Amino acid sequence: MAERIPLVIDTDPGIDDALAILLALASPEVDLRLITAVHGNVELAQTTENALRVLHLAGRSDVPVAAGAAGPLVHPLPERAGHVHGAAGLGGVELPASPAGLDPRPAVVALAELLMEQDPGTVTVAPIGPLTNIALLLHVFPEAAARIGRVVWMGGSATRGGNVTAAAEFNAWADPEAAAAVLGSGLPVTMVGLDVTLPTVLTEAGIARFREGGGEVGRTAAEVLRQYVDAARDRYGIDGVVVHDALALTEAIVPGTLGVVRREVVVGTTLGAARGQTLVDRRAVAAGGVDVAETVDSAAAVEFLVSRLESYGS
Ligand code: RIB
Ligand code: CA
C-alpha cells in the first residue's frame, strides 16, 4: 500500500462532521493525526466535546483534539445551526464521554507544530466547518501554513445558491473574511461545495446497511443521522440526507474522486444579502485560484461511505 496520508480534520461537529470523522478513521489511506475544533454548527465548547466523543465511539481517543476559534474573525454570526444538528450538535444523541482530555495547545499551535514536524507538502488539512482556524494559521504561523500539502474544504457554492441564505453556504457564511483569506492565500485548496454535495444523497437504504452491519459505531451513526433525515424529508422532501462533510473527506482520502476546475473564487464579505456568497469566476484563471469541484459520481461516493461505515462491524 502507498504511504498513508497524514491528515488533520478541522471541524464543527455537527452530524455530517461526525460521519466524516468516522469515515476517515475507517480509511487505511489516511492517518488521522489531529482534530482541530472550530465554532460553527454549535458553540466551540460543544464542537470540541463532540469531537472527543466521536473519537471515543470509534475507539480512537489516541487522536488529539485541540480547541480553536470560538467565533469568526470579524463579525459575529447571526445564528448557528442547532435547528439542523440539534442543540448539542449530534442530532440529540448523547454519546459517552471520552476519557481523553483536550490537547492543551490552542488549535493553531497544535496544527503548526504538526506541520513543522512533517515533511513539507505531505499533510492534508480537511476543514469541514468555517475557515477561522485556517485563516488564523495563515496569519500567526505562515511558515507552517506554507508546508500544507493540500486543503480539502467542504464549503461554498458555485452554481447551487446557498443553504443558510439564498446566496451563501453555511461554512462560507459563518466566517466570510476567513474564507476570503484562505481561498485567496495561494494555498492548494480544493473547494467541495454544494454543487457536488447536494446531488450526493445518502438514502435510508444506505443508512440501514451500516445500522445493521456496522456494529455499535454503525448503529450510533444511524441514530445521530435520524434528526438530519427527518429535517431533510420535512424541508426538502428528499428520502435521505446530504452528508456534505463526508464527501469532502472522500476527496481527501481518495484524491481525484471529484472532477475539479481551477477557478478564482471571490467571497462576499459585505454585511448585506450576499454575505458569504462564493462567486466562482468562470473566466480563465491567470494565476492562483482554487480547484472547484464541479462533477461527482454520487452513487460511487455514497457506496464508498456506506461500505466504510459498514466495516466497523467486521
Ligand atoms: O453547508 C454544509 C456545512 O455546514 C457542513 O459542514 C455542515 O456540517 C455545516 O457545518
Ligand atoms: Ca461541518
Higher pLDDT residue, 282 or 74?
74
**Averaged pLDDT for residues 227-243:** 86
Give the catalytic positions in this structure. 244
Q: Where are the chain's structural domains?
A: 5-313
Give the Å distances, CA to CA, from 91 to 23, 198, 202, 279. Answer: 18, 20, 16, 32
**Averaged pLDDT for residues 55-70:** 98
At residue 164 the predicted structure's pLDDT band, cuts being 50, 70 and 90, is very high
**Averaged pLDDT for residues 120-140:** 98
The C-alpha atoms of residue 111 and residue 311 are separated, in whole angstroms, by: 29
Percentage of residues of the chain with pLDDT beyond 70: 99
**Averaged pLDDT for residues 110-118:** 98
- Determine which residue's CA is closest to atom 1 belonging to ligand 1: 170
Convert the pLDDT of each residue in 142-159 to its tens digit.
999 999 999 999 999 999
User: How does DSSP classify residue 311?
Assistant: G
pLDDT at 20: 98
User: How does DSSP classify residue 304?
Assistant: H
**Averaged pLDDT for residues 221-234:** 90
Give the Cβ contact number of residue 205 at 10 Å: 11
CATH topology of domain 5-313: Inosine-uridine Nucleoside N-ribohydrolase; Chain A (3.90.245)
The C-alpha atoms of residue 196 and residue 191 are separated, in whole angstroms, by: 10
**Averaged pLDDT for residues 59-87:** 92
CA angle 29, 66, 301 (to 5 degrees): 30
pLDDT at 192: 99
> From ligand 2's centre to the CA of 284, what distance in Å?
30
> From ligand 1's centre to the CA of 2, what distance in Å?
31
Mutate to test the pocket of ligand 1, among 77, 90, 128, 165 (most ligand atoms within 8 A of CB): 128
**Is the pTM of the predicted complex or chain greater than 0.85?**
yes
Closest CA to 91 of 41, 40, 37, 145: 41
**Averaged pLDDT for residues 69-87:** 88
pLDDT at 1: 62
Task: Using the atom order of ligand 1, give the atom closest to the CA of residue 130.
Answer: 10
- Determine which residue's CA is closest to atom 4 belonging to ligand 1: 170
pLDDT at 216: 98
> From ligand 2's centre to the CA of 186, what distance in Å?
23
Average pLDDT value over all residues in the chain: 96
Do residues 196 and 293 make contact, with C-beta atoms less than 8 angstroms apart?
A: yes
